[in-house]
Amino acid sequence: MRKIGVLTSGGDAPGMNAAVRAVTRAGISKGYEVIGIKRGFNGLINVEGKESRETMDAKIKELGVRDVSNIIHTGGTILYTARCLEFKEQHYISQAKIRCDELGLVGVVVIGGDGSFRGARDLSLEGVPCVGIPGTIDNDIYCTEYTIGYDTAMNTAMQMVDKLRDTAQSHDRCSVVEVMGRRAGWIALNVGLAVGAMAAITTEMPYDINEVADKIMKSKENGKQHFIIIVSEGVGDADGIAKKIEELTGIESRATILGHVQRGGSPTVRDRVNASKLGYNAVELLDEGKGNRVVAMKGGKVVDFDILEALSKKRKQFDKRLYDISRVISM
């Protein structure tokens, strides 16, 4: 029987399980045996000198229809995930190709961010067709408007900030909240708008702390008594920003770093549906004999690109209009 592999790699994201389920069931429906590869690319290699927790056989698991039951609503990934630094070395890429041949894999679906896509590209070049599915809460992959987990992470952050608002309001404070996004401010921008923050500070747009403080003071004169500032992880120093705001405005300020809570939890409708569509389309591509591709979303539709396009150094254009709207209506 023809076989395809599926793995999740890089930071986990809610909806990865929905994608694994879709890949598994789409694969089975097209007559494939589906092999789950555990802990990203680590599941295909054996790193010398590193004590291996598992035998090579334990690093994979055949996935049947029922093995992926009851996971569409769960966060995390049943296949576990990891960032595999060794996979940058040719030696390990060749080892992974040999392992794929041993397993009889005619293709592999790689669910992850751009680091994972680099691995997928290298394995494709080595002769194992791979199709990438964008899975990262950061939504920082060029060529797709959406990545699996992004919607859930934003909703989680929004709910957390709503809770922080209660206490900020009770104490007439300013709450400075750092949200995830090492290299991208998409979560900060959208959550900032969704919670009515005074400012969303991201690396994409310049900011002046004095302007932020002035805006807070103007709103205070207008009767506003509590304030929320969202800072993206890439900007860093939420604590320093809170201290500076307190110094400039005299308003007691507190910093909160939401951190990994944003990576967990049950995926939203949007993440479940999109993960299912992307998973199905990825298998369709492999079935058509196409590798070295990524599936992506454009205008709400699933499209696909050469993996090199997804890895291009071009940065996704920041939504300046949304940023401007958010600035104007927060007063």
Active site residues: 138
| Smallest distance from ligand F6P to CB 247, Å | 28
* Residue 202 interacts with ligand F6P (CB under 6 A): yes or no: no
Binding-residue total with ligand F6P (CB under 6 A): 9
Q: Which of 20, 180, 212, 242 binds ligand F6P (CB under 6 A)?
A: 180
Cβ distance to ligand F6P smaller for residue 233 or 304: 233
- Interface positions, 23-42, toward ligand F6P (CB under 6 A): none
Nearer to ligand F6P, 11 or 15 (CB): 11
Interaction of residue 5 with ligand F6P, rule CB under 6 A: no
Cα 169 from chain centroid (whole Å): 31
Q: Which of 114, 122, 151, 233 binds ligand F6P (CB under 6 A)?
A: 233
Residue 8 CB, shortest distance to ligand F6P, in Å, is 12
Residue 280 contacts by C-beta under 8 Å, 6 or more apart in sequence? Answer: 22, 23, 26
Cβ distance to ligand F6P smaller for residue 180 or 295: 180
DSSP 203: T
Read off the DSSP letter of residue 96.
Answer: H
Spatial separation of the C-alpha atoms in residues 114 and 306, rounded to whole Å: 13
Among 5, 11, 14, 279, binds ligand F6P (CB under 6 A): 11
Does position 182 interact with ligand F6P (CB under 6 A)? The reply is yes
Nearest to 148 by CA among 76, 79, 201: 76
Asked if residue 178 binds ligand F6P (CB under 6 A), the reply is no
- Which residues lie across from 154 on neighbouring strands? none
Identify which of 74, 87, 104 has the alpha carbon closest to the alpha carbon of residue 40.
87
Measured CA to CA, the distance from residue 28 to residue 122 in angstroms comes to 26
Cα dihedral sign for 204, 208, 209, 215? Answer: negative
Binding-site string for ligand F6P from residue 254 to residue 273, where x marks contact by CB under 6 A and - marks none: ---------x----------
State which residue, 179 or 286, has the beta carbon closest to ligand F6P.
179
Contact 162, 237 (CB under 8 A): no
Half-sphere exposure (CA, 13 Å, Cβ side) for 235? 28
**What is the x/- site pattern for ligand F6P, positions 117-146, by CB under 6 A?**
-------------------xxx--------
Partners of 148 in beta bridges: 135
Please report how close the Cβ of residue 29 comes to ligand F6P at its closest, in angstroms: 30
How distant, in Å, are the alpha carbons of 15, 126, 284 from that of 291? Answer: 23, 11, 11
Is 77 a binding residue for ligand F6P by CB under 6 A? The answer is: no
154 binds ligand F6P (CB under 6 A): no
- Short-list 228, 146, 240, 233, CA closest to 188: 233
CA–CA gap between residue 303 and residue 305 (Å, rounded): 7
Binding status of residue 151 toward ligand F6P by CB under 6 A: no
List residues binding ligand F6P (CB under 6 A): 11, 136-138, 180-182, 233, 263
